[in-house]
Amino acid sequence: MKTAIVLGASGGLGSAIASILAEEYTVIGTHHGKEHPEIRNVTWKALDLADASSVKRFCEGISSVDVLVDTVAAPLKVQRFHQIPLQAFQEDYAINVLHPLLLLQTLLPKFTKNGSAIFVLSEMIYETPAFFSSYAISKYALLGLVKSLGAELKEVRVNGVAPGMMDTKYIKTLPAFVKEQYAKAKGLVKPEKVAQAVKKLIDSETRGEVVRV
């Protein structure tokens, strides 16, 4: 079977994507911690995207890859811009952009012909609310990555999905007023819907596109 790597497969969105891909691929799911769901055809490996040495060790254990899906994101910080320390911006950028970028760069020679890499962005690249500057900046950076590599790379098709706020444990990190206002205005997106959009991009010949979900 072909091999798919799902970064953050222990999370709500990651596990939904891993479950769908496991029907056609041998899936390597990453987790940051001891707990992860049991999913058929999924092998689990620890990976800390905040640690460049962890990224390099992970890549050394991969012989070939057909699909890479990055669902990892740093916790949302709901703060006024002037109250966010530089270190917080750096941590978000490292987890959301730099280390996934390093992982893709390192794995590039191991991709099979016409491989696929999918990055999870956010609908904030279309509608950016107040108080999310650190998170939004990193997601805009991923947009640039998808567009640039979509045009540049021939051996790997790079695309992205941009979901709204999803109905996962991730939203528990947000203040109650944010969740209530968002759910009332737009509703929460089911991770299974996003997983289906990811699968469609993998099966397509699209390059450099971001699908809003």
CATH code, domain with 191 = 3.40.50.720
Q: What is the pLDDT of residue 37?
A: 80
Q: Give pLDDT tens digits for 150-179.
A: 999 999 999 999 998 887 776 766 777 666
Residue 26 pLDDT > 70: yes
Q: What is the pLDDT of residue 30?
A: 95
Q: What is the pLDDT of residue 184?
A: 63
Beta strands, E only, 40-197: 42-46, 65-70, 111-120, 156-162
**Cα separation, 81 vs 149, whole angstroms:** 30
Residue 187 pLDDT > 90: no
**Cα separation, 88 vs 48, whole angstroms:** 17
Element spanning 194, H or E: helix 191-203
Element spanning 128, H or E: none
Q: Give pLDDT tens digits for 99-129.
A: 889 999 999 999 999 999 999 999 989 988 8
Let me know the angle formed at the C-alpha of 8 by 203 and 2, rounded to the nearest 5 degrees.
Answer: 40
Element spanning 98, H or E: none
- What's the total number of domains in the chain? 1
Q: What is the pLDDT of residue 20?
A: 97
List the domain range (segments joined by +) for residue 207.
2-212
Mean pLDDT over the full length of the chain: 90
Of 18, 10, 101, nearest in space to 47 by CA = 10
CB-based contact 95:73 (threshold 8 Å): yes
Q: How confident is the model at residue 183 (pLDDT cuts 50, 70, 90)?
A: low
- Provide the CA 49 distance to its chain's centre, in angstroms: 11
Across 39-43, 66-70, 156-160, least confident range:
39-43
Strand partners, 166: 189
- Stretch 24-32: mean pLDDT, rounded? 94
